Amino acid sequence: MADGNRWEDLRKQARQLENEIDLKLVSFSKLGTNYSGSREYHGNSIEDASDHEKSDTAPLLNKANSEHMFETMAMEIEQLLARLTQVNDQMAEYTQNISVNSHNSALLHTLQRHRDILQDYSHEFQKTKANITACAEREDLLGSVRRDIDAYKNATQRRTDLYLKENEHIRNSDRLLDEQISIAMATKENLQGQRGTFNSITQKLSNMGNRFPVINSLIQKVNLRKRRDAIILGFVIGICVVLLLIYAFH
């Protein structure tokens, strides 16, 4: 009776662990889907920002939370699988210790079924874990490539901005030079106009002198008188200076 109770306890523990593992695997599979979707979503968040705002199915898990939940859940499932393996080993040990009878074949069949379930769960767990790990590695690689591309684009954009600023400075310099050249041309035209005016006045005076010889002669006499007066005044000043020097030294 005690042996029967032990077998039932082991079967109860095995079924309980199998139910827990089954629920954990379902959650683990969903986590893998959300994990992959989350990494793709964050990897494309810059390019698809407008689509993100409109989408109602965007994953809510971020990268850090997904990785933490993945590691935690994987550890929990591994512990449950280890416990289930231990229970199956205890069940196998029990079947080996009991006497061989007609009931033993039913126990072996039950043990084999639990072992098959354990194998299926282990296989499913390893497959899901491998898929998530491969997805993480692929996304990390794509993320690294994407970061390199973004860095190259940013560097190219900065160079383009610098070229545009330099081009703007050159255009401003050209505009200032054009303004200075325009001012110089206007000044030249103004000086040429003044020169023409002075030439015209000189020509008119010359024409008046040629037309009125008396006036021209009078002007020449006035100029000679002024020159003579200047010479006389200079001579007188010179004599005064000499007399002052003679008086100063004697």
Taking only the tens place, the pLDDT of each residue in 35-66 is 555 555 444 443 443 444 344 333 434 566 66
pLDDT band at 213 (very low <50, low <70, confident <90, very high): low
Distance CA 214, CA 51 (A): 103
| Higher local confidence (pLDDT), 30 or 97 | 30
pLDDT > 80? residue 160: yes
Q: What is the mean pLDDT of residues 165-177?
A: 86
pLDDT of residue 92: 86
pLDDT band at 164 (very low <50, low <70, confident <90, very high): confident
In terms of Cα–Cα distance, which of 37, 36, 32, 28 is closest to 57? 37
pLDDT of residue 123: 92
- Contacts of residue 199, Cβ cutoff 8 Å, sequence gap at least 6: none
Report the predicted TM-score, pTM, of the whole model to 2 decimal places. 0.47
| Higher local confidence (pLDDT), 201 or 126 | 126
For 157, the token pair is 């954009």
In terms of Cα–Cα distance, which of 52, 25, 28 is closest to 40? 52
**Alpha carbon distances (Å) from 71 to 68, 132, 185:** 5, 11, 81
The rounded Cα 143 to chain-centroid distance in angstroms is 15
**Alpha carbon distances (Å) from 127 to 26, 72, 74, 134, 168:** 13, 17, 12, 10, 60
Q: pLDDT averaged over the chain?
A: 78
pLDDT of residue 46: 38
| Higher local confidence (pLDDT), 185 or 40 | 185
- Contacts of residue 7, Cβ cutoff 8 Å, sequence gap at least 6: 91, 94, 107
Question: What is the maximum span of the chain, computed from C-alpha positions, in angstroms?
Answer: 169
Distance CA 233, CA 37 (A): 112
pLDDT > 70? residue 98: no
Percent of the chain with pLDDT strictly greater than 90: 5
Percent of the chain with pLDDT strictly greater than 70: 78
Worst-scoring range by mean pLDDT, 169-178, 185-194, 206-215? 206-215
Q: H-helix or E-strand containing 35?
A: helix 2-43
